[in-house]
Chains A and B, each alone.
Chain A
Amino acid sequence: MSSLLPLLVAVPIAGALLTLVVGYAADRLGWPLAFASSLLHVALTGYLVVRAYATPDPLRYTVGGFRPPFGIELVVDGFNAAVVGLVAVVAVGVLVYARRAGPHSVAFYTGYLLLVAGLSGMSITGDMFNLYVFLEITGLAAYALVATGDDGRSAVGALKYLLVGTVGASLFLAGIGYAFVATGTLNMADLATKLGEVGYGSTLVRTSFALVVVGLGVKTALYPLHTWQPDAYASAPDSVSGLISALVSTVSAYALARVIYSVYTVEFLSSVAYAREFVLVLAGVSIVAGSLLAVMQTDIKRMLAYSSVSQFGLVVAAFAIANEAAVTGGVVHLVGHAVMKGGLFLAAGAIAMRTGARTVGEFDGLGSRTPLLGAAFAVLSLSMVGVPPAVGFVGKWYIALGAIQSQLWPIAAVILLSTLLTLAYFLRLVERMYFRSGTGAAAGADSPTGTGTATVADGGDDEDPTLGRDDTPTLGRDDDDAFAADDERFGRPSVGMVAVVVVAALLAVVLGPLVSAFEPLLEPTLETLL
């Protein structure tokens, strides 16, 4: 059974090659091939995830027959099974969305499949250097994907992402080097025991920990290592920002947790002075600073990007607290955030396609112009704020519980107050969408004179005598007029795009109560990790 593990990486890579070769010959086959590869990947992942949760022991595979301490090992346990499943599912969702939203180039489909391969590899590898290689494959694919946008801005964003990302990966590599010098091994499980033998007080070990945390912190985009992220997310095409925001930082944060638990171990965290504090401060600052920066943004995608900085602070804080409740919360929020943030980016993209609204000011009155997308966006926002029983709340509950159980009062306060910080930047969007008439939005990038009629119709202004005729509800009335006005100037998102966004919104709500079914599955793994 575990012999299927390498296929998790091999299938998307093979798909990428096939898409590349066939796609250049017949352009129209690009999407179907990518979709077929993705579906195969989902099926494979689904099977393996079920297997992983059915058996108490992790699934293991030794690559090329080299015995583990020397060769590369692939491992799927309860912790990364969730991440692998997330990668596969989100990837398919984004591909469905990209069918209409684009980019339609073969380069995109190839890069997309390579990204999935890299992310799957990062999730299942049990070897430190192999983790570095997959980290770079993920990075390369992500840089290329960001640059698939039409304008030069996306190329600049991608280059910045590349430079900062490479420094992060290089620091991670240096950290591996220190650990290798100290122990002479690269296998995670082997490192865990050998590092303990060397002694956690050793300067080599401590330096390697610091370098690894900072390196993965760059990839996770923790403040102040986040500088690549807003530009990359904002300049990438909508599908790509959805994909990257949902997966790349997520899997990096998972890698950070994996390294902390499986390589350095919780004992290292608690025995070495300031190790835990170092990570906690990084995370806490990230939560606060990310939110404050998000409040200051006017561009929706940049705002969502800074929101990610803040939310990953929450996840990393959970992993650093490192008790059972907090780690459960970390995993839940990792998965939940991916669904919510990916959904938000995709919703923002679809809304922009429908109405041209890309800034906070242009969200005025959107609730009646795109009722379904607007509602999905609002639900995802509220879930992100942490309104129960959505998944955003459940994650926060576990993390706060963990922080208070460990009596880490300052970080507990930051975690709990993050609700209000998140509210600060999402509330204004919801308020604009539903409780302001759409003057700002209609004025978009087009000529202001052409939008006069649309403005009146959107606002439900009483000067229009037909509107005061009876008590036909505003909602229905505005839709028609706004639709007509928007149809003239903007495209319509496909059913697939809207469906993906709506499914994300529903998942955000439904996953919350479902955590009670997931927690018992995760528990045996946590017992071995902690």
Chain B
Amino acid sequence: MILDILLTRYNYVVVALLLPVGAYMMIENRNLVKKVIGMNVFQTGIFLFFITAAYREGASPPLVGDGGAGVTYVSPLPHVLILTAIVVGVSLTAVALALIVRIYAQYGTLDERRLREAYADE
């Protein structure tokens, strides 16, 4: 039973793993860069979920010229959406890294706990 799920629904299992792993990294890791990586992992889990939703057993790519009527296609829409979402994710990562560079320049550390100490000293 469990083996069955693992073999046929393995991408859902991966989604279910990626989300908590990303969330855990964001909450538990003291290093700011690793928090951002955790954020990326979390987002990737959701991207994968969308892509999985587009999958159809035995379907062909959505090119009308190839098959014509009666053939099942995979859904093209999620792919397009996720391309957009990936772009958004990259922008977010860029902004986050820019902020981290500034924080490092100011405080000389990326450790959350040391940052708090630096606050207290101010």
Contacts and interface: CB of A to CB of B under 8 A. Distances in A.
Q: State whether these chains interact.
A: yes
A343 B85 CA distance: 35
B91 interface: yes
B60 interface: no
Interface string B68-94: 000000010110010011001001100
Chain A CB within 10 Å, residue with most, of B84, B88, B115: B88
B46 A159 contact: no
A228 to B, nearest CB: 12
Contacts of B85: 132, 173
A167 B23 contact: yes
B17 interface: no
Contacts of A177: 46, 49-50, 53
A424 interface: no
A140 B95 contact: yes
Contacts of B13: none
Contact of B103 (A159, A167, A173): A159
Contact of B53 (A129, A140, A180): A180
Given A147-B102, A159-B32, A159-B100, A167 B26 contact: yes
A181 B77 CA distance: 11
- Chain B, interface size category, equals 20 to 34
A226 to B, nearest CB: 16
A528 B18 CA distance: 41
A158 B91 CA distance: 15
A158 B102 CA distance: 11
- Chain A, interface size category, equals 20 to 34
Interface of A: 129, 132-133, 136, 139-140, 143-144, 147, 151-153, 155-156, 158-159, 162-163, 166-167, 170, 173-174, 177, 180-181, 184, 186
B95 A155 contact: no
A160 B64 CA distance: 46
A203 B43 CA distance: 23
10 shortest A-B CB distances, which residue pairs?
A: A152-B106, A155-B102, A159-B99, A136-B88, A181-B53, A155-B99, A155-B103, A174-B46, A177-B50, A170-B46
B78 A170 contact: no
Contacts of A153: 119, 122
A205 to B, nearest CB: 15
Interface in B11-46: 23, 26, 32, 35-36, 39, 42-43, 46
A153 B99 CA distance: 11
A166 B103 contact: no
A156 B116 CA distance: 10
10 contacts: A129-B84, A136-B88, A140-B91, A140-B92, A156-B103, A159-B103, A166-B42, A177-B46, A177-B49, A180-B53
